[in-house]
Amino acid sequence: MPDSELGHSGLEARFAGFESILKAQGIPVDGLSISNNVEQSAGLLKDYFLGHPQSNAIATLGPLPADSFYLFAEEEGLKPGDILHATHDTSPAIFSHIRSGHTVQAVDQQPYLQGYLTVTFLYLHNEFGLTLAQDVLTRPFAINSQNVDRIVELMKAGYR
């Protein structure tokens, strides 16, 4: 799993969560340090997969690492399913690759809800003294081939 921003606590938490699930199932997980330079990182991914021919899946932690995977896949002539890919967050490229089958899914964190619910909860607290009993998760929400077009529609309508 490539990490393009070492020390970013959110990305490190994403990696830790992914790793904890797979390792519990006996699936080895490698972390790979890359950068936000898409071309350079695509080269690092190529080197990784050349050195690890048994690897057949990758999870990226956001749009730029996903773009690095897409460039690597294009340069290597990979077909959908040759290497299973999942990612986090959204971008037009991610949507396109979900449609084409190069990306299985993207985990979305619902940025609309993050802003909307924050204001709603602040209002309820200020107006009525209400406080949440626990955290409210605005994720994870999986975007895949079955719902990607609906997600794009929601973005165009301003809900994402």
Going by pLDDT thresholds of 50, 70 and 90, the confidence category of residue 8 is confident
- For residue 156, pLDDT over 70 is answered with yes
- Dihedral angle at the C-alpha atoms of 69, 73, 76, 82, nearest 10 degrees? 120
Of the chain, the percentage scoring pLDDT greater than 90 comes to: 62
CB 41 within 8 A of CB 68: yes
Going by pLDDT thresholds of 50, 70 and 90, the confidence category of residue 92 is very high
Tokens of 127: 């107006």
pLDDT at 109: 78
- For residue 7, pLDDT over 70 is answered with no
pLDDT at 30: 92
pLDDT in tens, 24-64: 999 989 989 898 899 999 999 999 999 999 999 999 988 99
pLDDT at 37: 94
Sequence ranges of the domains in the chain: 2-109+140-156
pLDDT at 159: 76
| Residue reference for tokens 């890359």 | 34
Q: Please give the C-alpha separations between residue 13 and each of 81, 105, 111, 127, in angstroms, as whole numbers.
A: 27, 19, 18, 34
Mean pLDDT in residue range 69-91: 96
pTM for the whole thing?
0.81
pLDDT at 2: 54
Going by pLDDT thresholds of 50, 70 and 90, the confidence category of residue 65 is very high
Annotation: CATH topology of 2-109+140-156: Rossmann fold (3.40.50)
pLDDT in tens, 136-147: 877 778 999 999
